[in-house]
Amino acid sequence: MDETFLLMLSNLLHLHNSIDPTTSLLSTTPTTAAAASSSPTTSSSPTPTSLLASSSAAPLLFFTIASVLSFIATSRTKPSSSSSQNPPPASTDTAAASAFSVSAFRALSTEHIWSLEAPLRDAQWRSLYGLSYPVFTTVVEKLKPHIALSNLSLPSDYAVAMVLSRLSHGFSAQTLASRYSLDPYLVSKITNMVTRLLATKLYPEFIKIPISRRRLIETTQAFEELTSLPNMCGAIDGSPIKLHKHNLPGNYKCRYGYPSVLLEVVADHKKIFWDVCVKAPGGTDDATHFRDSLLYNKLTSGDVWEKIINVRGHHVRPYIVGDWCYPLMSFMLTPFSRNGMGTPAQNLFDGMLMKGRSAVVEAIGLLKGRWKILQDLNVGINHVPQTIVACCVLHNLCQIAREPEPELWKDPDESGPPPRVLESEKDSYYYGESLRQALADDLHQRLSSR
């Protein structure tokens, strides 16, 4: 029996004996109790003093109180003993944890962050969620209608904040669940939902090819100011995204020796991605991944851009640049050599091309530096592509808002042989080869005459 209850019962007995010393609670007989209960009542209600002073009523009163206390003590004990065998429904636990977590988030945002001036508030917000409060509210407002349709028990701002915290710090579901007093399964479920919405609903708005004339001219002019090469509209590169799981097929092992998937991005001069592709295990080479992408199909099937210039008799449409791991084509220009063994004009061209390519290298460094989960991705393999694409969407949001840039994550240097030329690409390859030489000669002549 519960010690607290025994103590209460003992005190009750002492109290009773001090009031009615002639009668013991333990010796009260049913007859006495019946007599007390059958005694007629007076017209006036008895006062507490007269009730306690009655030697016949006091035992029954204290017996009743003791019974009630015993029932309370028993009811407190039973649930605790049975809870280990039959835990409450998960929905009850989730609701309680959600309420606790939401209140904790509200307290954080109102009592601490909101008491700061805007610059300090945004700095604090970035340290927690990877972006400033205005960008955070933009994400929440755009996702809120879609999150509302999911019948999630958490408010939209809390769900987004929790996922951003995981993406920016690289937390596992278990770590985040412990921090926010949630079930790890619920954390994974919310993460998958928010990243899926970012990768599908926000992708078309924030990641798109620069087709409009205004944006295309802005991009090509900015690259020309940087490299002196005309009509360059983007730089492409691939980067392995390390996976936390190790029990994966061998084709997931990248050239650096760890399991991964391959990310391919094209960036503009502002280090904003205008194309993202995640379709291949880490062991796939960049050229194969590019040839399997939707971008490759668009560029080979027709003219995406109408802006055409003439360089030494060559019609030069907007093109992207890549390193020697990508195929040379009319819309994809690569260096002549990787070791500076070309002519002066060719070496000059290679230097300027790699200068333009630095935009995408830095963009990938910012992506992995800001969203640290991409340094060791700890989500289910089926959710890997959407998580990576979601981080690319968030990267663009930060670049558009001109968020402070974090320290760049440095990938190992590129390696590997140049890709072979496919039969279907020969015409484009030969034109790209001629075009590249014309651009190199034109560049050398212009810069030499200055």
Is 410 in the same domain as 301?
yes
pLDDT at residue number 333: 98
Q: Is the pLDDT score of 18 beyond 70?
A: no
Higher pLDDT, 28 or 334: 334
The pLDDT of residue 302: 78
Q: What gap in Å lies between CA 65 and CA 72, rounded to an integer? A: 11
Q: What pLDDT, on the 0 to 100 scale, is given for residue 152?
A: 80
Whether 170 and 214 share a structural domain: no
**Residues 358-386: tens digit of each pLDDT:** 999 999 999 999 999 999 999 999 999 99
Cβ(399)–Cβ(371) below 8 Å: no
Domain boundary among 141, 170, 201: 201
Higher local confidence (pLDDT), 63 or 412: 412
Secondary structure class of 338 (helix, strand, coil): coil
Residue 178 shares a structural domain with residue 251:
no
Q: In whole angstroms, what is the distance from residue 271 CA to residue 257 CA?
A: 28
Is 71 a member of any domain?
Answer: no
- Shared domain check, 362 and 292: yes
Q: Is the dihedral of CA 383, 384, 389, 391 positive or negative?
A: positive
pLDDT band at 112 (very low <50, low <70, confident <90, very high): low
Which pLDDT band, with edges at 50, 70 and 90, does 344 fall under?
very high
The answer to whether position 80 is within a domain reads no
Query: Mean of the per-residue pLDDT values for the chain?
Result: 80
Examine residue 120 and state whether it is found in any structural domain, yes or no: yes
**Predicted model pTM:** 0.75
244 in a domain, yes or no? yes
Q: Could you tell me if 190 and 227 lie in one domain? A: no
**C-alpha torsion angle, residues 36, 37, 42, 45 (rounded to 10):** 100
User: 63 or 427, which is more confident?
Assistant: 427
Range of the domain at 2: 1-33+57-66
Are both 117 and 262 inside the same structural domain?
A: no
- 163 and 245 inside one domain: no
| Residue 114: per-residue pLDDT | 55
Beta strands in 270-399 (DSSP E): 273-281, 309-311, 314-316, 319-321, 332-333
**Looking at the structure, do residues 197 and 217 belong to the same domain, yes or no?**
no
pLDDT band at 117 (very low <50, low <70, confident <90, very high): confident
How would residue 65 be classed by pLDDT, with cut points 50, 70 and 90?
low
Q: Give me the amino acid identity at 428.
A: S
**Distance, first Cα to last Cα, the chain:** 99
Distances (CA, A) of 208 to 177, 231, 272, 273, 385: 35, 18, 10, 8, 18
In the chain, % of residues over pLDDT 70? 74
- Give me the pLDDT at residue 191, please: 95
Per the CB < 8 A criterion, the answer to whether 308 and 316 are in contact is yes
Total number of domains in the chain: 3
- CA 290 – CA 237 distance, rounded (Å): 9
What is the tens place of the pLDDT at every residue in 68-89?
444 454 444 433 333 334 444 4
| Average pLDDT value for residue range 262-285 | 96
Q: Residue 420's closest CA among 322, 291, 319, 302?
A: 291
Query: pLDDT, tens digit, for every residue of 185-237?
Result: 989 999 999 999 999 999 999 999 998 999 999 999 999 999 999 999 999 99
Contacts of 45 (CB under 8 A, 6+ apart): none
pLDDT at 168: 96
Residue 108 scores a pLDDT above 70: no
Can you read off the two tokens belonging to residue 154? 């958490």
As given in the structure block, the two tokens for residue 408 are 């760049």
| Residue 128 near residue 112, CB atoms below 8 Å | no
**pLDDT tens-digit series, residues 44-61:** 343 333 333 334 444 444
How far apart CA 282 and CA 167 sit, in angstroms, is 21
